[in-house]
């Protein structure tokens, strides 16, 4: 590994082959200095990030690639969406979308390593695929990035160039939980026993579930990501002290990042491990909690598309739903408010017109109750789902169910 300055970095980037594919740390670990240098020195390049945030370079000549669309790439005319479960993205890098360059946002050096900090995810696989084809791995090392353990630790010999930066990390303060989200969170939490293992997606409802679980005991975390809600569980003594918290990436407040720094009770693993349904199924009372945009009477959920256009993507919810359903004592929850306020329509629909993200959940949850789905005949599923729909939608859903032969 060679430590370089910004001017040397620009020379290196200016000598790359035409239209390189750059895989960069995503979510809230955006390597802004490296991306700004690429923007100024490379006329055309392909930028591959998961959950890209606003503020990334965005101009003609830059093609966005991703399997999980963040706000920085959403609705871009230059977006190349690559459908994939998150657990399979490393295979994309190995066999189909091989990186020429990998941009990392890391901690400062510690002995002969740096840490990927808050974003491990698919980056170890990207590094391996890049080095196999003789590409470049470039890191921006930041004293504000926490040093985390597990697969986050990267050795000097795995990095070609490192530039030292000092900039604040992107953070996300906890958002207030509204009445509907709180009601849904409470209903789900009532079904979660002590000593369960939790996976929670992103959004107000998963946050509300965690808030309702802070008085539980012996809870374990095996998840794709977590935020400040898990920190609150730790503060309240709800977590199993003998089991490490396992995730693949995370984001949240500065307090969360400070808690993570050199914290050996947290391990961040590569996504092939955290999102492996076989590994998920081995966790005690594995409980998967995710949010959807709409669910139909066949218990099919859309969490990815709005008006025919990709909004996010599969993410890891499909991996965890399958793993939880196979776990002994496991269960999966799909949660959503019963009414879409902007569109003024029910989120429980007769049949999805958008893409199906997942299907077969233990329960679908709205503020009106829990619909038991898996293990019930399709007609009973439909009745259960109509019962938790918004009252203004139930009559129409009953009529549609009759026409569909579900009643």
Where are any strands of DSSP class E within 205-257?
220-221, 225-226, 245-247, 249-250
Helix (H) or strand (E) holding 9: helix 6-14
Residue 280 · residue 272 · CB < 8 Å: no
- Report the relative pairing of strands 305-306 and 309-310 from DSSP bridges: antiparallel
Q: What is the DSSP letter of 139?
A: E
Give dist(CA 208, CA 205) in Å, integer: 5
224 catalytic per annotation: yes
Catalytic residue among 119, 224, 272, 367: 224
Q: With contact defined as beta carbons under 8 Å apart, do 190 and 215 qualify?
A: no
Task: Tell me the Cα Rg of the chain.
Answer: 22
Q: How long, in residues, is the chain?
A: 407
**SS3 of residue 27 by DSSP:** coil
Phi then psi for 396, rounded to 5 degrees?
-65, -35
Cβ burial of 200 (10 Å; 0-12, 13-18, 19+) is: buried
Catalytic residues: 224
């Amino acid at each position: 590994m060679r430590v370089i300055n910004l001017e040397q970095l620009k020379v290196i980037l200016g000598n790359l082959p035409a239209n390189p594919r750059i895989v960069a740390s995503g979510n809230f670990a955006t390597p802004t200095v490296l991306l700004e240098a690429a923007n100024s020195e490379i006329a055309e390049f392909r930028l591959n990030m998961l959950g890209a945030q606003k503020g990334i370079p965005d101009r003609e000549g830059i093609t966005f690639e991703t399997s999980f669309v963040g706000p920085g790439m959403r609705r871009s005319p230059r977006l190349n969406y690559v459908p994939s479960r998150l657990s399979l993205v490393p295979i994309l890098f190995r066999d189909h979308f091989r990186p020429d360059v990998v941009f990392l946002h890391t901690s400062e050096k510690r002995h002969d390593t740096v840490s990927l900090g808050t974003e491990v995810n698919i980056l170890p696989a990207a590094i391996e695929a890049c080095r196999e084809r003789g590409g470049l791995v470039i890191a921006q090392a930041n004293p504000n990035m926490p040093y985390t353990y597990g697969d986050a630790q990267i050795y000097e010999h795995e990095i070609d160039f490192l530039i030292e930066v000092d900039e604040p990390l992107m953070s996300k303060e906890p958002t207030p939980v509204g009445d509907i989200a709180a009601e849904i969170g409470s209903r789900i939490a009532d079904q979660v026993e002590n000593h369960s293992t939790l996976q929670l997606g992103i959004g107000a409802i998963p946050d509300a579930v965690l808030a309702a679980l802070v008085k539980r005991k012996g809870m374990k975390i095996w998840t794709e990501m977590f935020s400040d809600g898990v920190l609150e569980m730790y503060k309240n003594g709800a977590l199993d002290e003998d089991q490490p918290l396992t995730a693949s990436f995370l984001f949240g407040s500065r307090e969360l990042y400070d808690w993570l720094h050199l914290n050996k009770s947290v391990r961040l693993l590569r996504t092939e491990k955290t999102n492996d349904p076989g590994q998920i199924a081995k966790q005690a009372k594995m409980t998967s909690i995710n949010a959807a945009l709409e669910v139909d009477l066949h218990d099919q959920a859309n969490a990815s598309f709005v008006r025919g256009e990709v909004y996010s993507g599969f993410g890891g919810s499909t991996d965890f739903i399958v793993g939880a359903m196979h776990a002994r004592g496991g269960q999966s929850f799909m949660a959503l408010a019963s009414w879409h306020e902007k569109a003024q329509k029910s989120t429980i629909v007769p049949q999805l017109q958008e893409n199906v993200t997942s299907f077969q959940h233990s329960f679908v949850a709205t503020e009106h109750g829990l619909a038991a789905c898996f293990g019930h005949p399709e007609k009973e599923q439909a009745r259960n789902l109509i019962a938790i729909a918004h009252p203004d939608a139930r009559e129409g859903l009953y009529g549609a169910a009759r026409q569909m032969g579900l009643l």
